Each structure stands twice: as structure tokens, then as C-alpha cells.
Structure 1
Amino acid sequence: MIRVLVVDDQALLRGGFRLILESQPGIEVVAEAADGREALAKARELRPDVVLMDVRMPGMDGLEATRQLLAGREPPRVLMLTTFDLDEYVYDALRAGASGFLLKDVRPEQLADAVRVVADGETLLAPAITQRLVQQYVRRARPGTTRPPGLDTLTDREVSVLRLIARGDSNAEIAAGLFLSQTTVKTHVAHVFSKLGLRDRAQAVVVAYESGLVEPGEPLP
């Protein structure tokens, strides 16, 4: 059972998300919160698997709440919600360690699927949306100026895998594109994460763009 905490300052939206998620098998909404501070308190008390987090809220916003949540021990996965497809906080949320992003007009079945994907921690949510947002906001990060030491330890194959992760490809898509088995791809992904000290694919995307390994809008093979 995937345990979810829903965080939004609008009670109507919180209730709607709860109804959608609780109608799905294998998902339980354990609580709701109206702002970041309440979200932190309830997350620490209830230990949800996934926090569905609004970006813009009065008081403590979703970005700061995400930073604090993910700084703790055994943090939940955080799925960010935004009204705007070019929200100014999205890139900062990605850097803070959020595992995925959704627009609030998402279809009900997409919401449930997104929660499951984030709970599994295997793929970056909604590649088309996420990549567009990353490409928009990564320009502020001056690609090429932030180069983690571990990047030079990656093999050529691991670099290729990292570039495809940044494009939003799943393990299955990477395997098909590089003519590898999915088991081999999982091994390469694990090595990339270990060498770069990454928690998940969202952080891998940030590293790939900030280091200049991938440029915004660059076509990848």
C-alpha cells in the first residue's frame, strides 16, 4: 500500500486529490495539510511514502517544505504540483530533490500513475513536461559551471546513460536505444548514482544539465 500525504492550501483541491487517489487500488491518503509547516509535522508523524506537494502556498511554500523534508532521515518521495507549466519554482524544486512534477489539470488516471511511479523511484515523472521545464529553467544555472568531481570517473557508457536519463528516458527506453538489456542498464544507472552521489533520476537530470553534459534543446541520439 502506497501511503500519500496531500498538501495544498485549497481545501477543494485537497479533497479532490484525496477522492481520486483513494479510488485507486494500492493507494491510501493518510492525511492532508494546508501549508508547508503542517506538511512537515504530518510527514514526520505519519511517515508517508509519497508527499503530493503544492508549490505555491502561503507561509512556508512547497519548495522550502521539500528541502526540509528531504534533509531528514529516510525521507518520502515528493511529487510537486503546479498550476503553471512554466512555474518559476520548478527548477529550484528539482534541485531540492523533488522526484517529479505534475500540472494540476492532470487527468485522474495520470495522477494515480504518477504516485505509483514516484513511489517506485525508477523513472523521472512525465518526461515531456519535466524536460520542457528543465530546459526552460536550467538556463539560469549556467550549464558547464557546476561539474561534480565524480563526473570524470564515469565510463563512456555511463555518460551515455546519464545523457539519456536527462532526456527523460526510462530504463526500457535506454536499453532499446543502446542495445542493452534492462538489467545492464539498471547496473549502469546504479553506478552513475553511486559515483555522483545521487539519490534519484531527478538529481541526475540536474547534474547533466548543470555540468554542460546536456545543453537545453540539444537533440540526443
Structure 2
Amino acid sequence: MRVLLTDDHQLVRAGLRALLESLGGVTVLAECGDGHEALTLTDKLQPDVLLLDLSLPGLNGIEVARRVPKLSPSTRILILSMHTSAEYVAQALRAGVAGYLVKDSAVEELKVALESVWQGRTYLSPAISQTVVEGFLRITDDERPAANPLDRLTSRQREILQLISEGNGTRAIAERLQVSVKTVEAHRTQLMERLAIYDVPSLVRLAVRYGLVPGESS
């Protein structure tokens, strides 16, 4: 099994890499710490499994998961996260991930999760409340009472909203995305109109609430 490891904490990556390499039949192809690099390496290496954290700078794990199928259709995604709330789990499942594992899981559970997603099955950590999972599966899209407002945005608009929420200015965002300042300003205006929010602090609060960027306690 060929695995690409993505987590924004270097010490966590080092520990996970050592752990993965101790498991029989697992090869860690590479590791990285941000969403854009995860996509670049996925496209280049075509891993069997992408082990992916949700809280990544620049491009969060949910957005990475949405884009992976176009780059590497056979790559299965296993989320490894500290978050167990219904909203995080629901977003991950809607993004098409194959598994969701919480970071305080036992070593044995990591191995089971990897093998499950690699073999084409879906894996959800037992630590995720059964009530949360059942509640998500029971509610249809038409019945869902509180749609995620971020779903109104395009992929690029969500990316720019994340960068704004991380404290980046317009020029810095333009340089990072290799687009013009006017392009960034246009996307910013459009995303504000779609969300009906016209100030940065409120945008940041929305981004934190819906998991686009981590809160202070994350």
C-alpha cells in the first residue's frame, strides 16, 4: 500500500511516518504540510491512499478531498483529524472521502482503517458518535435544515476565503495564487455577495464556524 501523508505539524508527521513504516505492507511515498503541496504530490505520485488532516494552511483538507479525484481517480482518502463534530464528518463524507479516523485512535485502528479504504470499503472511527453518523445518514439533502453557506461558493472563492481568514492581504493572495490583484478583488466581492457578508471579521467567524479554518482552540 502506497501512502501519501499530509499534516501541517512536522512532529506529528514524523511520528505518523514512523508508525506507518512499522506497519507491514505500507510504504510512505512522501509527506507534506499544506493542501496545495498535497495536490501536487498526489498528481505526481498517484498514491493508493492519501492520509489527510482537515486543518491545513492555504487549502484545507475538505477542499483537497474535492479536487483529488480529478488528479488521481484511484487514490482513496482517509481523513485523520481531531474533529468529531457532525459538521466536520458530514463535510468530509460529502467531499467523497473513504474514511474518517480521529487522532487519538489506537495504532491497531489506524491499520484497520488504511486496509479498509485501500480495499474499497468505507471506514468511520468508532470514536465518532453513532448518533452523529446516524443523524447525518438519516437526513436527506431536501430535509437538511441548515445548509452550509460555503456550498454557495466556487472552489476558488472558498480558497480565497480561507486565505483571507488566515490573515492574508489581497496582494499576498494574488501572489500566492499567481493571479492579478483585480482577480482576487473580484472573487472577494462575489463571495461577499453570495454570503451576504461584507466585513472581514464576520467572514472569519463564518469560516471558523464551518471548519474552513481552525478556531483558536483547534
Question: Could you tell me the TM-score, scaled by structure 2's length?
Answer: 0.59
Q: CA deviation at 1:135?
A: 3.6
The residue that corresponds to 2:25 in the other structure is 26
Given residue 123 of structure 2, which amino acid in structure 1 is its aligned partner?
A: L
Letter in structure 1 aligned against 2:111: A
Where 1:88 maps in the other structure, the secondary structure is helix
The reply to whether residue 89 of structure 1 matches residue 96 of structure 2 is: no
Q: CA–CA distance in 1 between the matches of 2:140 and 2:52?
A: 28
Residue 75 of structure 1 and its aligned partner are, at CA, apart by 3.5
Q: How does 1:180-191 map to 2 (within 5 A)?
A: none
2:49–2:114 CA contact under 8 A, matched in 1? yes
Partner of 2:172: none
Q: SS of 1:51's equivalent?
A: strand
Whole-angstrom distance in 2 between the partners of 1:132 and 1:55: 22
CA 30–127 in structure 1, closer or farther in 2 if over 3 Å, else same: same
The SS at the match of 1:56 is coil
Q: Which one-letter code corresponds to 2:5 in the other structure?
A: V
Within-5 A mapping of 1:64-103: 64-86=63-85, 88-103=87-102
Q: Which residue of 2 aligns with 1:58?
A: 57
Task: Report the alpha carbon displacement of residue 112 of structure 1 after superposing the two structures with TM.
Answer: 1.7
The separation in 2 between residues aligned to 1:108 and 1:56, in whole angstroms, is 21
Task: Kindly state the Cα deviation for residue 57 of structure 1 after the two structures are TM-superposed.
Answer: 1.4
Q: CA deviation at 1:136?
A: 5.0
- Aligned-residue sequence identity (percent) comes to 42
The aligned amino acid for 1:25 is G
Secondary structure (helix, strand or coil) at the match of 1:75 reads coil
Q: CA deviation at 1:86?
A: 1.3
Decide whether aligned partners of structure 1 residues 130 and 46 sit closer, same or farther in structure 2, where only a CA change above 3 A counts: farther
Q: Map 1:109-124 to 2 at 5 A.
A: 109-124=108-123
The change in CA–CA distance for 1:135 and 1:10 in structure 2 (over 3 A counts) is same
Q: SS of 2:123's equivalent? A: coil
Q: Aligned with 1:116: secondary structure?
A: helix
CA 1:73 to 1:27, structure 2 compared with 1: closer, same or farther past 3 Å?
closer
Contact 1:69 1:76 in 2 (8 A): yes
What does residue 145 of structure 1 align with?
142
Q: CA deviation at 1:145?
A: 2.0
Distance in 1 of aligned mates of 2:79 and 2:49: 10
**Partner Cα distance (1:70, 1:130) in 2:** 28
The 3-state SS of whatever aligns with 1:9 is coil
Say whether residues 1:134 and 2:133 are aligned partners: yes
Residue of structure 2 in register with 1:214 after alignment: none
Equivalent-residue separation in structure 1 for 2:142 and 2:44 (angstroms): 40
Aligned-pair Cα RMSD in Å: 2.3
Deviation at 1:137, TM superposition (A): 4.8
- Deviations along 1:49-102, one digit per CA (max 9) or x if unpaired, are 000000111210000001000234523000011112216322111011000101
What secondary structure is seen at the aligned counterpart in 1 of 2:42?
A: helix
Which amino acid in 1 is paired with 2:140?
P
Q: Is the 1:101–1:130 contact (alpha carbons within 8 Å) kept by the matching residues of 2?
A: no
Aligned length in residues: 143
Aligned partners of 1:130 and 1:117: how far apart in 2? 20
